[in-house]
């Protein structure tokens, strides 16, 4: 993507993010009561050894059709998958079992949209690179771009609470072990290096793109669902590739709200968007948007251009909230990464995001709020 006119691109980007859809029918956030996921018993576990190298991509041979054909989990399966481990910064590890209330497992049979076309060939950038590098203090430090953060393990994340960051589970755990650096995990906030930096041709409001730095905050504890730890990325594990980080102190930025993922057919233009720190653009925040192609109950498939490092980014949309009578941006998924699938001997790629289902919303919200009363409406 050409970057010779950053001001023009950012102006167009601002219009894209802030404009009200022209359709007379507003895209509406679904109104639904979410179930309750409550911790029941917590037990100590042996401290992990942190031997696994951090992985920035998830590999799998199970594509959309494979996931759709997977057995529907039972109520007891769901309780097992939503039980979780908590890793503390001092190396302690606990496992918590959960109870599920007010959820009908029959809803897992809900039909999902079908693919809109053939999957593209194996590559990370689909044709023309449609990513935008966000530059300038007025964009980087303002909502919604200010909610994007970087993990010290190399992934991205999104602020979803005063002290909470949503990211991908594989950024801290490879499915078998916690990765190196996950005990001393830090979260980086992109900030100007100095207040009165001189203006360059690649800057706005006097803050050059190359004069930004990360301010790091330590993570107090990390929650990872057992669905990721029990499974592998070849079957059910991919559905639970999410984790929540609690910081040691508040970050003092506006955070993104969490929302239950609507069907892709209900999204404005069927589009999703997310921002992260792709490895091929070090020190830059990279934004992208694209059309959602396919989905299962737990996963969303799309062809947004992305590189390793963007994994863990919060996938979000902007829709009309009928209760509050205003437009709201909410995180509806976590970008997991590139899923490589062998179809009849032909390697193909999907970009996969884990959808925030009602059960996942209830669990993550409880991790953030510490009670279920504030987590009944997604």
| Enzyme catalytic residues | 170, 235, 311
SS3 label, residue 343: strand
At residue 221, what are phi and psi to the nearest 5 degrees? -155, 160
Nearest to 267 by CA among 71, 100, 55, 23: 23
Cα–Cα distance, 82 to 61 (Å, whole number): 24
Exposed/middle/buried for 252, CB within 10 Å: 0-12, 13-18, 19+?
A: exposed
Nearest to 279 by CA among 337, 322, 215: 337
> Hey, how many other C-beta atoms are within 10 angstroms of the C-beta on 267?
19
Nearest to 121 by CA among 346, 291, 309, 356: 346
Two structure tokens written together for 292:
């959602």
Give me the count of residues in the chain: 378
Cα–Cα distance, 317 to 304 (Å, whole number): 14
From the DSSP assignment, how many helices (H) and strands (E) are in the chain? 6, 19
Nearest to 163 by CA among 258, 260, 255, 225: 255
Q: Tell whether the torsion through CA atoms of 62, 169, 156 and 261 is positive or negative.
A: positive
């Amino acid at each position: 993507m050409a970057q010779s006119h950053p001001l023009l691109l950012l102006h167009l980007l601002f219009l894209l993010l802030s404009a009200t859809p022209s359709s007379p029918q507003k895209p509406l956030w679904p109104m639904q009561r979410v179930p309750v996921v409550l911790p029941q018993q917590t037990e100590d576990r042996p401290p992990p050894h942190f031997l696994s190298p951090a992985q920035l991509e998830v590999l799998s041979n199970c594509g959309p059709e494979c996931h759709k054909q997977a057995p529907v989990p039972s109520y007891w399966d769901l309780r097992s998958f939503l039980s979780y481990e908590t890793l503390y910064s001092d190396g302690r590890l606990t496992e918590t079992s959960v109870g599920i209330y007010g959820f009908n497992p029959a809803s897992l049979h809900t039909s999902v949209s079908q693919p809109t076309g053939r999957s593209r060939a194996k590559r990370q950038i689909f044709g023309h690179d449609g990513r935008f590098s966000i530059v300038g203090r007025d964009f980087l430090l303002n909502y919604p771009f200010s909610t994007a953060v970087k993990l010290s393990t190399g992934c991205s994340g999104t602020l979803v609470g005063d002290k909470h960051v949503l990211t991908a589970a594989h950024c801290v755990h490879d499915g078998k072990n916690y990765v190196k650096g996950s005990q001393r995990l830090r979260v980086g906030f992109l900030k100007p290096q100095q207040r009165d930096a001189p203006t360059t041709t690649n800057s706005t409001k006097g803050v050059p793109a190359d004069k930004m730095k990360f301010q790091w905050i330590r993570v107090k504890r990390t929650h990872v669902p057992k669905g990721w730890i029990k499974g592998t990325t070849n079957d059910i594990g991919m559905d639970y590739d999410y984790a929540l980080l609690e910081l040691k102190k508040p970050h003092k930025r506006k955070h993104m709200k969490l929302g239950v993922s609507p069907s892709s057919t209900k999204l404005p233009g069927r589009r999703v968007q997310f921002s992260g720190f792709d490895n091929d653009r070090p020190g830059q925040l990279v934004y992208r948007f694209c059309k959602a192609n396919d989905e299962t109950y737990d996963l969303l498939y799309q062809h947004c251009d992305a590189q390793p490092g963007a994994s863990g980014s919060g996938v979000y949309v902007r829709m009309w909230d009928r209760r509050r009578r205003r437009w709201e941006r909410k995180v509806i998924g976590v970008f997991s990464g590139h899923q490589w699938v062998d179809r009849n001997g032909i390697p193909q790629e999907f970009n996969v995001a884990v959808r925030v289902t009602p059960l996942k919303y209830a669990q993550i919200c409880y991790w953030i709020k510490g009670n279920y009363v504030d987590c009944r409406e997604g």
